[in-house]
Structure formats: structure tokens, C-alpha cells
């Protein structure tokens, strides 16, 4: 993003709040150009220990009076309709399975409500609730016999050496596009929406979301997590395809696609990226709230 045009001290505090949430602790952290618009021109802190980052977030959040206050007193969540309007129409969260997307989505809904109400939708709503079993759940149950899956729909593909990734078959593509279009329908009806997503085929899915949501104020949030922790969470859940989270971690943000770097340089994908292993759930919520405020102030300043 360009310069905010406000006092250096104020801008610095806001930027620091955003920076403490970016992901230098991942086992294979992205390079500077992979951090999205919010920080692509910023210098990341050199000291990246989890405890330092957590202490920084708590201290700065306390200074901004954001931490653990009664709901009606929390930042921006006031009875005034003008304050409600600072929140984006969409909070789009993309990350691998078991990275903490659903926890973040639920905590944001609780934290911002009831004054600011966000509906939720996403890939699990499509796969596990909207579609009949033969479109995904029957394939998902064939963990030991992937060659018997119906590959017209959503199916699992082996990835060397021991991973699996979800693929979109020819009949499944229309249903996936329906998820995107139905989300636009919720927005056209005047709602706010949190999208809890996994772009398991990478860049083309992320681009579809970006194009569809472009008419609406949207905060794009990317979640990541070290593969070893994803493996542990996946195993503990017991209801996910073993080996899929680790594979998705390298796909969902589109960074492996040959077109990624050119497109990211032109129009960065994310406003914020969070390593969910480096921050606790409350701190993840604070990071998103501060990124939303930062983006709103930045855009308001540019328009004035």
C-alpha cells in the first residue's frame, strides 16, 4: 500500500501491530515479496522468537485498548452506525487444513458481534453440507483405495512421497463456482461475510475469489503454519485426510504457480498473513482487527 499520509508515530504503531502477525517462524517462510500488500515495502523485524512476538502483540494491543474489553467497548464495535461501517464487507481467510481458519472465523464472529454481524461460508460448507455424499464424502471415505474414487467430482490425488491433495473434477468445477457466486449473492443482499476457504488447487481459485469479491471492501487474510504442527493437528482431529494439510501448505497461496510472482508484484494478494503457530487464537483476532483498521484508515486517507 502507498503512504497513509498521517503522522509518522501513528502510522508506525499501526504498521507494527500488523507486522507482528506476519509469518517469519514457518519452517519454510515466504520471502519478502510473498507477504502481500500490507508489508511488501516494509522491513520485517529481525527478532522473531514466539515469546517476543506474543509480548509485542499484548503490549501494543493493551496500548490501543483492544485486549479483553467488554464487547460493546471493543475497538470499532460501538453503537454508532458510522463505526460499524469501518469493517470490511468480506473477510476472506485462506489457508491449509488444520491451520486455524475455522477457529479464527468463529472468534471474529463472536468478537465483533452483535453490533457487526458476519455470516460464514466456505469450502467445508460446500463439501460437507451442501453436496450429496457422492460428490465428496464417499470419495473422502476411500482413504485406502483412492483408485476407486469418482474423479468427476472432488477427489483425492496422491502426492509423492506421502501426501494427498484434493482435486476438482469436471462436474465439481460448477459446484465450486457456485460457492463463489452464492457468496456474491449474500453480499448483494446486504450482508457481511467471512469466507473460510482452502484454495486446494492454488492460484486459479484464489484469482476467482479476488475477481468475484473485487466490487466489495475485502480484507484478504492468509494463514500458514509449520508442516510439523499441521501434521499433529491433522492427526488429533481424526476427520481429515492424513497428509493433506502438509501438501496444501505449499499450494493454497498459489506461490508454486509460475504466474504467481508476476501477479503478486502487480497486485499483492493478501492484506495480512498470519503464522497460526506463532500467535494464540486471541492474538490472531487482534491481528485481523488491526489489519482491518489499518486498511480502512489507509483507504480513507487516499480518498480524502
DSSP state of 44: P
- Write out pLDDT tens, residues 11-50: 444 344 444 444 333 333 333 233 333 333 222 232 334 4
pLDDT at residue 211 tops 50: yes
pLDDT at residue 287 tops 60: yes
Judge whether 193 and 89 are in contact, CB under 8 Å. Answer: yes
Nearest to 268 by CA among 40, 18, 96: 40
3-state helix, strand, coil in the chain (%, to 5): 45, 15, 40
DSSP state of 27: S
CA–CA distance, 292 with 297 (Å, rounded to integer): 9
pLDDT at residue 167 tops 90: yes
Question: Residue 83 — very low, low, confident or very high, per pLDDT cuts 50/70/90?
Answer: low
pLDDT at 212: 98
User: Dihedrals φ, ψ of 280, to 5°?
Assistant: -80, 170
Residues with Cβ within 8 Å of residue 229, at least 6 apart in sequence: 277
Mean of the per-residue pLDDT values for the chain?
75
DSSP state of 163: E
- Write out pLDDT tens, residues 213-269: 999 999 999 999 988 888 888 878 766 777 788 888 889 998 765 555 555 555 568
Q: What angle do CA 253, 137, 194 make, to 5 degrees?
A: 45
Global pTM value: 0.72
DSSP-based three-state secondary structure for 94: strand
Judge whether 272 and 17 are in contact, CB under 8 Å. Answer: no
CA–CA distance, 241 with 45 (Å, rounded to integer): 36
Structure-block grid coordinates of residue 109:
464472529
DSSP-based three-state secondary structure for 273: strand
Amino acid at each position: 500500500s502507498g503512504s497513509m499520509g498521517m503522522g509518522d508515530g501513528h502510522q508506525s504503531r499501526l504498521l507494527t501491530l500488523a507486522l507482528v502477525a506476519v509469518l517469519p517462524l514457518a519452517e519454510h517462510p515466504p520471502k519478502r515479496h510473498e507477504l502481500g500488500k500490507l508489508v511488501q515495502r516494509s522491513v520485517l523485524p529481525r527478532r522473531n522468537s514466539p515469546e517476543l512476538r506474543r509480548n509485542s502483540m499484548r503490549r501494543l494491543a493493551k496500548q490501543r485498548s483492544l485486549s479483553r474489553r467488554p464487547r460493546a467497548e471493543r475497538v470499532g464495535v460501538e453503537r454508532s452506525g458510522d463505526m460499524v461501517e469501518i469493517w470490511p464487507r468480506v473477510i476472506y481467510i485462506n489457508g491449509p487444513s488444520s491451520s486455524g481458519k475455522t477457529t479464527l472465523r468463529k472468534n471474529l464472529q463472536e468478537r465483533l458481534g452483535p453490533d457487526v454481524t458476519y455470516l460464514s461460508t466456505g469450502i467445508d460448507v460446500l463439501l460437507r453440507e451442501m453436496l450429496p455424499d457422492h460428490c465428496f464424502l464417499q470419495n473422502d471415505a476411500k482413504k485406502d483405495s483412492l483408485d476407486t474414487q469418482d474423479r468427476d467430482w472432488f477427489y483425492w490425488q496422491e502426492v509423492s512421497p506421502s501426501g494427498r491433495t484434493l482435486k476438482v473434477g469436471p462436474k465439481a468445477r460448477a459446484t465450486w463456482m457456485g460457492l463463489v457466486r452464492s457468496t456474491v449473492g449474500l453480499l448483494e443482499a446486504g450482508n457481511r461475510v467471512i469466507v473460510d476457504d482452502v484454495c486446494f488447487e492454488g492460484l486459479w481459485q484464489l484469482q476467482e475469489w479476488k475477481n468475484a469479491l473485487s466490487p466489495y471492501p475485502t480484507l484478504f487474510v492468509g494463514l500458514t503454519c509449520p508442516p510439523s504442527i499441521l501434521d499433529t493437528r491433522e492427526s488429533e482431529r481424526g476427520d481429515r485426510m492424513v497428509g493433506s494439510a502438509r501438501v496444501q501448505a505449499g499450494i493454497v497461496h498459489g506461490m508454486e504457480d509460475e504466474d504467481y510472482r508476476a501477479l503478486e508484484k502487480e497486485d499483492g494478494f493478501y492484506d495480512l498473513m498470519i503464522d497460526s503457530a506463532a500467535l494464540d487464537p486471541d492474538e490472531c483476532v487482534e491481528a485481523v482487527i488491526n489489519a482491518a483498521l489499518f486498511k480502512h484508515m489507509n483507504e480513507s486517507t487516499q480518498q480524502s
